[in-house]
Amino acid sequence: MNNEILDVIKKYEGKRGSGIPILQDVQAIEGFISKDSIRYISEHTGIPSAELYGIVTFYSMFRLKPQGRHIIRVCKGTACHVSGADNIASMLNTLLKLPEGESTTEDGRFTLVEVACLGCCSLAPVIMVNEDTYGKVASDKLEKILDKYE
């Protein structure tokens, strides 16, 4: 695992402003940013771990916990909001039976996140599963969508 992180660090060696891209690459490998990774990156780049932690908690794409195999993004943009995005999110919560305060299912199949806007406003309400976007979703059609992802 550390070898892969070291490769990432080497890729950005000598380049300025590499804190964010290193963390993005590490998250792509490990699925999230662990405390160990922060410590490791800090030791090998000289970027203080407080600064790295600051970046991770500032930007919404970084996660400090492992995520599910599939990421469901519920768009909470304005157009989706006025088209019933809240109901879509409630339905997903019911279907996924998420433990209180958690965003990942117990079997690690799905992680549910709410995002500000996916930019598909004309097809509101919209959800995205991994890189697949679904427009005009109806709450009773969600189960069928989820079935596609094992």
Partner 1 sequence: MLIKEIKVGMASCGLAAGAKDVYNAFHDVLPETVKLTKTACIGFCYAEPMVETIDDEGVSRFYGYLSSKDAEAFAKHEPPQKKLIISQKEDAPGNKKLARQVRIATRNSGLIDPDKIEQYVARDGYRALKKVCTQMDRQTVIDEVKNSGLRGRGGAGFSTGLKWQFAKDAPGDKKYIICNADEGDPGAFMDRNLLESDPHAVLEGMAICAFSVGADEGYIYCRAEYPLAVRRLKKSIKDAEKRGFLGNHIYGSDFSLHLKLKEGAGAFVCGEETALIASIEGKRGMPRLRPPFPAQSGIWKKPTNNNNVETYANIAWIINHGADAYAAYGTEKSKGTKVFALAGKVKEPGLVEVPMGTTLREIIFDIGGGIKDDRSFKAVQLGGPSGGCVPEYLLDTSVDYDSIAKIGAIMGSGGMVVMDDTTCMINIASFFLNFTQNESCGKCTFCRIGTKRMLEILRRIQAGKGEMEDIETLHELSEQIINSSLCGLGKTAPNPVLSTLKYFKDEYLAHINEKKCPAGVCRDLVNFNIDPEACTGCTLCSRKCPVNAIEGVVKGPHKIDQDKCISCGACFEACKFDAVIRS
Using rule CB under 8 A, residue 146 touches partner 1 = no
Sheet of strand 132-134, all strands in order from the earlier edge strand to the far edge: 110-115, 70-75, 127-129, 132-134
Using rule CB under 8 A, residue 147 touches partner 1 = no
Using rule CB under 8 A, residue 31 touches partner 1 = no
Using rule CB under 8 A, residue 2 touches partner 1 = no
Using rule CB under 8 A, residue 58 touches partner 1 = yes
Nearer CB in complex with partner 1: 3/16: 16
| Helix, strand, or coil (residue 48) | coil
Smallest gap from residue 2 Cβ to partner 1 (A): 22
CA 119 and chain centroid, separation: 17
List the Cα angle 133/139/144 in 5-degree steps: 65
Number of amino acids touching partner 1 (CB under 8 A): 51
Taking CB under 8 A as the criterion, which residues in 32-51 touch partner 1?
51
Using rule CB under 8 A, residue 98 touches partner 1 = no
Q: How far apart are CA 129 and CA 88, in angstroms?
A: 14
Q: Are residues 70 and 103 in contact, defined by beta-carbon separation less than 8 angstroms?
A: no
- Which letter does DSSP use for residue 82 in this model? H
The span from the first CA to the last CA of the chain, in angstroms, equals 25
Residues that bind partner 1 (CB under 8 A): 16-21, 23-24, 51, 54-55, 58-62, 73, 76-79, 81-84, 86-88, 90-91, 93-94, 115-124, 126, 131, 133-136, 138-140
